[in-house]
């Protein structure tokens, strides 16, 4: 989809970070917006920030874990706007924990938001996209959907799953020739609130403080949400299957191709020295 003017885009997790920047970039391209999040105050701030763009904007409080709520939202958006062309399944959360001490509840929380949220958004919007004949499903994974990292087993599981799910979907859509496409997005470190909003749990018998985790993440995250949104939209317009966001993501992807299991040894060496707790 090369032209975004007058298209209708739905974005989950639009109250903050990449979701907010996507909403702003889409509005600047002349897209109309259906924005959702669990954070209503943040969502209102995002809507306010695009109010001068001329875009029609609808906001809804939707928890992406809630299958029925996501389907009801998709139907209501299609009803109100008359069509939906793009769904950005972006809402996500982070957890730092080692497998030994991680609770099932924390693991389920990450899978429910980061994997099932993406599945719900994809399945709820797909029939509406197919009706337009030129839709696009954009699912946000992570560079942690390409490499696995100590303390990130739950996040890795969800983001690898998003990648598998979306790549299979893309293949199915290509075979069907429905005019709908799908892109998997793998950001590296993006300067957002993801670590501030994360759950920090025990790693080797110790829980990092919020300050430690945020400081470490701030050191590693190099790309702004605005740069990320630009890269994502450029990839969608090119109809890329995979969008890597940031130099760090491109380098890590290259290392993984070069040494598909050897990268683990590199990470183990790094983690013996420092113990990063943030996602990427």
Ligand X SMILES: NC(=O)c1ccc[n+]([C@@H]2O[C@H](COP(=O)([O-])OP(=O)(O)OC[C@H]3O[C@@H](n4cnc5c(N)ncnc54)[C@H](O)[C@@H]3O)[C@@H](O)[C@H]2O)c1
Q: Which residues here bind ligand X, judged by CB under 6 A?
A: 12-13, 15-19, 37-39, 42, 63-65, 90-93, 113, 140, 142, 187, 189-190, 192-194, 197, 221, 279-280
Q: Of 23 and 132, which has the nearer Cβ to ligand X? A: 23
Q: Of 30 and 72, which has the nearer Cβ to ligand X? A: 72
Contact between 15 and 42 (Cβ < 8 Å)? yes
Distance in Å, CB of 233 to ligand X, minimum: 15
For the chain, strand residue ranges (E) read 8-12, 32-37, 57-61, 86-89, 95-96, 136-140, 181-187, 199-200, 202-203, 206-207, 242-245
Give CA–CA dist 103/239, Å, rounded.
39
> What is the DSSP code (8-state) at residue 196?
T
Q: Of 150 and 280, which has the nearer Cβ to ligand X? A: 280
Helix axis angle, 247-258 relative to 262-273, nearest 10°? 120
Distance in Å, CB of 206 to ligand X, minimum: 23
Give CA–CA dist 66/130, Å, rounded.
23
Q: Residue 167, class by beta-carbon neighbours within 10 Å (0-12 exposed, 13-18 middle, 19+ buried)?
A: middle
Contact between 46 and 14 (Cβ < 8 Å)? yes
Indicate if 104 belongs to the active site: no
Q: Of 132 and 243, which has the nearer Cβ to ligand X? A: 243
Q: Which two tokens stand for residue 154?
A: 């739950």
Distance in Å, CB of 68 to ligand X, minimum: 14
Distance in Å, CB of 107 to ligand X, minimum: 15
Distance in Å, CB of 30 to ligand X, minimum: 23
Give CA–CA dist 47/57, Å, rounded.
7
Contact between 171 and 125 (Cβ < 8 Å)? no
Residue from 81, 88, 115, 155 carrying the catalytic annotation: 155
Enzyme catalytic residues: 155
């Amino acid at each position: 989809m090369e032209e975004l003017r007058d298209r209708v885009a739905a974005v989950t997790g639009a109250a903050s970070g990449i979701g907010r920047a996507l909403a702003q970039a889409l509005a600047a391209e002349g897209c109309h917006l259906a924005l959702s999040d669990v954070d209503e105050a943040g969502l209102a701030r995002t809507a306010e920030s695009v109010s001068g763009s001329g875009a029609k904007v609808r906001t809804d409080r939707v928890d992406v874990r809630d299958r029925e709520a996501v389907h009801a939202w998709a139907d209501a958006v299609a009803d109100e706007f008359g069509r939906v062309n793009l769904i950005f399944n972006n809402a996500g959360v982070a957890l730092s924990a080692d497998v030994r001490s991680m609770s099932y509840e924390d693991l389920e929380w990450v899978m429910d938001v980061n994997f099932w949220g993406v599945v719900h958004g994809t399945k709820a919007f797909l029939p509406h996209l197919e009706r337009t004949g030129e839709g696009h499903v954009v699912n946000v994974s992570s560079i942690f959907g390409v490499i696995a990292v100590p303390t990130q087993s739950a996040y890795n599981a969800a983001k690898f799953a998003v990648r598998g799910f979306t790549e299979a979907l893309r293949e199915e859509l290509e075979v069907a020739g429905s005019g709908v496409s799908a892109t998997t997005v793998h950001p590296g470190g993006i300067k957002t609130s993801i670590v501030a909003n994360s759950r920090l749990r025990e790693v080797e018998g110790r829980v990092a403080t919020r300050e430690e985790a945020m400081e470490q993440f701030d050191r590693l995250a190099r790309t702004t949400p605005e740069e990320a949104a630009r890269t994502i939209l450029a990839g969608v317009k090119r109809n890329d299957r995979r969008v890597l966001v940031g130099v760090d993501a491109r380098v890590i992807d290259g290392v993984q191709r070069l040494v598909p299991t050897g990268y683990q040894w590199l990470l183990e060496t790094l983690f013996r020295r420092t113990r990063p707790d943030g996602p990427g």
